[in-house]
Chains A and B, each alone.
Chain A
């Protein structure tokens, strides 16, 4: 009951977090990775010790490839450039190895044309919109027998409010990391957002399902419990489960973040932030909103 009675406090807390996310997004924006804006990424290792960053930059300068060199791991650099043709790639390889005088190991060399990048951005937006739409429809359908006191489509709408919350938090976080640590947003990040959407609905549904069941029971035994009590009970009954499921998932992701492959590090971070936000929203935002909606209807 605590959560339902003090729901205003949690709403305000969430609003603050969202305001911070939106501010970060407006202020700094997201840094698109090469799979969104097109460009090249060259990760190179110098097995015999790497030269100074300035030297590498110097060597690349005459090629006019807009190179930005960033150290990664002990003996490696990640070099970001405009999207290169094959010949340009060869020239870059040549420059980076100082005309073959320094031994290099090519870890990866990616080039993505700007058109493909545009398509990836478009696809990402469509996928996110489609997932949200399908989820509203599905929840409206799954809760179709629940119409009193709150209509089933309102469950759907509330879920979407919770979902927007869950997606905005990692986006804001990545705007922040992008500005201060150069984290880029790529197709994997969008994948993380989609998974967060799925997971958060997962969580919200479990609480809603309990509300659905308790409403039925209450109706059958005619105990005339008011709606906010039913929602409060439902949250309490599913509380341990919500925390525990998120906990196992968070544990798995922490392991992935700390010892998993380098390439999925930012991905697991985005998931971690999103899933924590999602668990919070399904307990402290989604279900209390049911009560708020019911109160509005009464007025």
Chain B
């Protein structure tokens, strides 16, 4: 029995430490600056701990943007879509970081069979609630392409050419802004006209050399955001990996173009597919409501357990408290991004976590009724309830895993993850923790008082 007392002590001590960790990492670290909000109440700006809860956009504020990347051209050429998407992500990340958004998320997602195999880029900008600001941040990145004049049209008179659409007249080449190393503003030696000097990276240089070598005498158009800005004729092979665009720019235009190209030219055209923005007050309200609901659920479940199951119910409440501490700590350590749905999952899991305890206690009572002595009844209760706890939780885990993989929004993903963690930890706390606590009490008594403590409900 001392073994169990020691075990119980260790469990309680660890749980207390875990709880302390959860608590302290939530305390804001006061920062020296004091901000003033519109309502003129001074607010101390806070720097949160590394282990503070990560809140999803629906619980704070910000924008969630989904872009669809147009990979049709790369597909036709059998190009490296994965590579293009990766560099697209890098470029956008670079841009977003430049604007000083804290903890932005930029990630590539594949639409899968159901999404038509689309390549998507997901951008999350916490704190940015102005959609225009957000899309501007991302959208102004220029798309630079090099296209050859369709050979079938070569030599056609001007007026004939003008009738053709851009798509008919020009054929795309693999050379794009993706292969750019840097852009630079230069001025023409003689005309003083501002020009943009492009320097390609190794791959780009080789491609450019090959392209110019094979197409001497043909027209190579430079497209910016889908429109031709310069339509020079290739005079000779260019091996240096540099090209100049003289598109009749004003000095300001040229400077902006250089800056935007250097921020990163988009390797693929992108289009907005969905946007979500959440204002600050809505997020705060949702967070507060979620926390309140959590506290009340815990209190009501605890009350029910203690009234119905008495002493074991009290121990189950302690086990439930350990469950809460462990879960919250896991949310911080993994880390799990909490969404409104995630909080709902956690509250739901509070209700379900006690299921194992209820199964065990009901079984214990039955064994007591059959005339077993208390320690045996406890042993049997845990032993016999195990198979149904195992099987029923397995089905919940199956649901959680499928939900996670088929989640179409980050909200649902958050739900599935929290639900999964809840089911797994509840198996530990409801079984191991409550058994250890129960055994540590070491009650053997056969008197009425002890029986009443282990009785339940109305009998």
Contact = CB atoms under 8 A, between A and B. Distances in A.
Interface stretch (B162-170, B199-207, B281-289): B281-289
Interface in B99-146: 111-112, 114-116, 118, 129, 131-132, 135
Contacts of A259: 289, 292-293, 296
- Name the interface size band of chain A: 35 or more
B41 to A, nearest CB: 16
A43 B358 contact: no
Main secondary structure on A side of the interface with B? helix
A252 B347 contact: yes
B171 to A, nearest CB: 28
Contacts of A253: 347-348, 351
Interface in A120-148: 120, 122-124, 126-127, 130-131, 134-135, 138-139, 142
B48 interface: no
Contacts of A64: none
Given A142-B391, A248-B354, 10 more contacts: A43-B282, A86-B131, A106-B279, A108-B277, A116-B408, A142-B394, A202-B352, A245-B351, A251-B351, A261-B344
Interface string B61-79: 0000010100000000000
B344 A268 contact: yes
B351 A250 contact: yes
A126 to B, nearest CB: 6
For this complex, into which size category does the number of interface residues on chain B fall? Answer: 35 or more
A219 to B, nearest CB: 17
Given A113-B273, A116-B273, A130 B402 contact: yes
A197 B348 contact: no
Interface stretch (B174-182, B411-419, B443-451): B411-419
B333 interface: no
Interface in A71-92: 85-86, 89-90
B301 A248 contact: yes
A153 interface: no
A119 B91 CA distance: 27
From B285, B388, B415, B457, name the one whose CB has the most chain A CB atoms within 10 angstroms: B388
Contacts of A201: 392, 395
9 closest Cβ contacts across the A-B interface? A198-B399, A249-B351, A252-B351, A127-B406, A209-B388, A261-B286, A260-B293, A122-B114, A202-B392
16 contacts: A86-B135, A116-B115, A119-B114, A131-B402, A187-B411, A187-B412, A194-B402, A194-B403, A198-B395, A213-B384, A241-B358, A251-B351, A256-B297, A261-B343, A261-B344, A262-B285
B285 A261 contact: yes
A134 B114 contact: no
Given A86-B272, A90-B132, A202 B355 contact: yes
A72 B354 CA distance: 36
A194 to B, nearest CB: 5
Contacts of B416: 191
A255 B347 contact: yes
Given A210-B388, A248-B301, A251-B300, A119 B290 contact: no
A195 B395 CA distance: 10
Interface string A15-48: 0000000000000000000010000000101000
A187 B409 contact: yes
Contacts of B118: 115
A157 interface: no
A255 B296 contact: yes
Contacts of B350: 248, 252
B93 interface: no
B86 interface: no
A32 B318 CA distance: 43
B408 A261 contact: no
Contact of B132 (A86, A142, A188, A252): A86
B282 A256 contact: no
Contacts of B129: 106
A229 to B, nearest CB: 17
Given A187-B412, A244-B358, A267 B341 contact: yes
Contacts of B88: none
Contacts of A210: 388
A108 B408 contact: no
B340 interface: yes
A252 B408 contact: no
B276 to A, nearest CB: 4
Contact of B398 (A43, A134, A238, A244): A134
A108 B278 contact: yes
A281 to B, nearest CB: 15
